[in-house]
Amino acid sequence: MIRILESDSQEAKDFLEKLRNRGLLQDDTVLRTVNRILEDVRKNGDKSVVKYTRKFDAPRIAIKELRVTERELNKAYSQVDSDYLDAINHARTKIEQFHQKQLRNSWITAEEDGVLLGHLIRPLERVGVCVPAASQLLVSSLIMNVVPPKVAGVKEIAACIAPGPDRKIDPHMLVTAGECDIHEIYKCGGAQAVGAMAYGTDSIRKVDKIVGPGNLYVQLAKKAVYGTVDLDKLAGPSEVLVIADDSADPAYVAADLISQAEHSEDCSAILVTTSRGLAEQVRSEIELQATNLARQAEITGAFGNYGVAFVVDDLNEAVALANEIAPEHVELEVEEPLEWIGAIRNAGAIMVGPYTPESVGDYIAGPNHILPTGGAARYASPLSVDDFLKKTSVISYTRAALKKVTPSVVKLAQIEGLDGHAAAMEARFEDDRD
């Protein structure tokens, strides 16, 4: 199910080239469809949102049903068990505690000659969260997208979740929103939800920023509306890369690779190991473990497309290869994992040791699981409180301080051909020349 390649082979080099291109989110046919939907929603608002929601999700939904009522939300609580509530609140608490540590305060410093410089740090006013719920109930993604803006102090958060054919949102999704204190919930998903939040409709007011996962239609829609609103990031398929030596348990490694592969057929599950014997054991374990899991098509497809075990000479080469691939998740299942954390430069999250599977980070550890994919870990970071804060610079000069810097400002402005900038400085000291 997973191919085993020597890292210096031509096949391995070809596979690496394929991995380098995995972050290219582009499809002209899909883009044309997305642009048509967005333009329709921009012009026709709720009418178009309902039209596409009927086409893709709920054939009989009406405009008046777009917003989830408090009655529907309360009913959802009667449809989930207490263990689910306990699990959701356990996860939410841990995630909130982690994100509370990211908060920052505004600051102003006093410089010489009475100059004041600083940053005002304030939350965005309104954020839209778009989370799919068709093939998978992404309750964890709902929490991960909602907690950071809540902690940042965002006043309004609207959630768009696609309904089922019965015009209802799964109760687990509704209860999760309720436990996160989100009461503005709309029954729509896909590109039409992105358009509604970006442009605003009679039912769904425009937001300042859109966050959340989704398929290629959602990602290209987010890309198209960037500038009208801000975005979190363009999210590609999930990824895991496990670095393992011969001390690793092949059953653990196989289980962790499968846990990513089961998301979808375009996910990548990569092993980089110093032991060919371990690679062969992991391959056998994958075949054994996968037979007991429900998402066979996704697992088989993912390993067929992006499943590989690279055999390298040593851990230095393993780390170098991981940094080149820049995956969403890196797992260190080696004898001394703490010694290698600093060497991993390009990763959305690093899972350290045999008892830190990627799953614990996905659900309950606390750090956000909205991570850079497609090689974006070279320059991007996990979703955080910072993503929902805006900074405004504060500058205050006294006359004496401004006079000191005027010659430098005038010279720079003249070099740029901006005489008006220079004049704005000199105008304040015309009396000094009399």
Active site residues per annotation: 328-329
Helix (H) and strand (E) counts in the chain: 16, 14
Residues 262, 298: contact at Cβ < 8 Å? Answer: yes
Q: What is the Cα–Cα distance from 399 to 393, expressed in whole angstroms? A: 20
Specify burial of residue 423 (Cβ count, 10 A radius: 0-12, 13-18, 19+).
exposed
- CA dihedral of 359, 363, 365, 368, whole degrees rounded to 10: 110
Per-residue exposure over 32-61, b if at least 16 CB sit within 10 Å of its own CB, e if not: eebeebbebbbeebbebbbbbbeebbbeeb
Report the DSSP pairing between strands 116-123 and 107-110.
Answer: antiparallel
Specify burial of residue 95 (Cβ count, 10 A radius: 0-12, 13-18, 19+).
buried
Q: What is the Cα–Cα distance from 135 to 132, expressed in whole angstroms? A: 8
C-alpha separations of 139 from 85, 133, 150, 181, 232 in Å: 12, 8, 16, 14, 18
At 303, the amino acid letter reads F
Q: Coil, strand, or helix at residue 421? A: helix
Q: Coil, strand, or helix at residue 347? A: coil
Give the chain's length.
434
Q: What is the Cα–Cα distance from 365 to 331, expressed in whole angstroms? A: 15
Residues 239, 263: contact at Cβ < 8 Å? Answer: no
Residues 344, 355: contact at Cβ < 8 Å? Answer: no
